[in-house]
Structure 1
Amino acid sequence: MDKKTTSRDGTSLAYHVTGQGPMVILVSGAMSTGRTVLPLAERLAERCTAVVYDRRGRGESGDTPPYAVDREIEDLAALLDAVGGDAALFGVSSGGALVLHAAASGLPVRRAAVYEVPYADHLAGGATREATYKEQLTKALAEGRRGDAVELFLRLTGLGEEMIQRARQSPMWPGMEALAPSLAHDDAVMGDGLLPRDRLAAVSVPVLAVAGGASPEWMHRASQAVAEAVPQGTYRVLPGQTHAVEPDVLGPVLVEYFAG
């Protein structure tokens, strides 16, 4: 990240701008930084000005306590001011939930798009699973067990135990543990893990909700539910894609949507 701005509460935010055309701010999901969505930003840069940033508590950005979802919306407001005040928003996974929160709050954005926000309404036992995760994550982070917190998240995503143990032994693990406290941020953004219908009804801008064709059925239904809950929603499926969507597949869809 080569630029800095400051949020309302004094938190330093690191960001990067690439390309030219309509402005789009990309919001990453859990266990990720702005660099995670940089390949997608580079794909958008063909016809859009793409902005990537480290959400608070990640990468080169600060993390002024206490945390609240409203502080992350203020972060987006600060970025909007820094890049000229006229932008659209895209968010992936829980980053998409933050985008929807921001759009519902009245943040002045042109339009929004999200990829597979993991609302668990259509997952069997989803509400119970989310409540258990929240309780265990809070306890692990309070006790300083960052590795256990990462394990809880990886298990929540469906990663098998053997793969989790391999991850623990990999060179990436220290970086994952460094991001562990931000899992509480994403958990707060997701709320109880269920679709916030009343909040989404307040979104006044067009929203594109995208899912991967190779993702689980409950994820498709969650994305479709987002499109149906907002006043101006569109639902789209990308054949063959999973939650780890390929930038070369998603990029052209977003360029068409944001740049027309």
Structure 2
Amino acid sequence: MQLLYLVFGNNIQNHFQANFSILSFLRQKENLLTAITIVTDAPEFYQHLGPLVTTEVIAADTLLEWQGEYRFFWRAKIKALEYAAQRHPQAALLYLDTDTFLHGSLPQLAQALATGTAFMHEAEGALSSLPSKTERRMWQQVKGQTFGGVAMQEKLGMWNAGVVGIPAQRNLEAIALALRICDDLCAQQVTPRLIEQFALSVALEETYTLEEARPHIGHYWSTKTEWNGAISAFLLESHLKNRTLEADLAALSAFDYQQLPIKKKVRNTQNRLNNLVNKAFPPRQVEFIDPKR
């Protein structure tokens, strides 16, 4: 099984999340991981992992090409899957957003992939019944039509794409279908925010039995502030103590994955009130170093 990460930009938090995620898998690698590939423009952030990972630096023009005719950035995720599958066609492929970690059994996950079960992080429900404005608009735009050769029926599900597990059997076929669906959705100017997620959801359900990766993998997309604090403390301690990779893996065995929530919903009203309070009561007596004094 090979792991794949796609990490671009200079936001250091994304890179230390990816490092932590990789460490969580290395704790259980047990010869199950044939490759760990990081597609990035910042390979310098992964030196601590040494030869256990491969950083693929993708040129800007290649990244632009991956976005396709309609310059949809997240089409690059599907192209990165294609790139990895072409390089290791006989290996199951597990794509991970940076804000993920392995807390369950890697052998169980690898066995399921090996026997033809695909994974995405969690099932969110049929697109036709999802409540958000974006999803309702998407359904109105696609219902009754065909994209990538697949008729848009009410039963078609939306799955969270923070984890995408593709068995080796029919891998390039499934990825090609996702690309066709994605491109057709872009051509019809469907609301773009969730296009690649829906394309992957439909393609994997059409090609495989699709299950949730949530029992094995945590995805803290809604609680990044809390997890970023815990992860930065772990990596800072590693740096200050000059820990080796082996020592980091040993330290991670004592990490309590249940200490922080992986999902939290905050009402928009609360966010608006917080913004109003911050504007009404800005900080006072803010000082900076003055080199002239």
Same fold (TM over 0.5): no
The two structures have a TM-score, normalised by structure 1, of 0.30
The two structures have a TM-score, normalised by structure 2, of 0.28
Computing the radius of gyration from Cα coordinates, the structure with the larger value is: 2
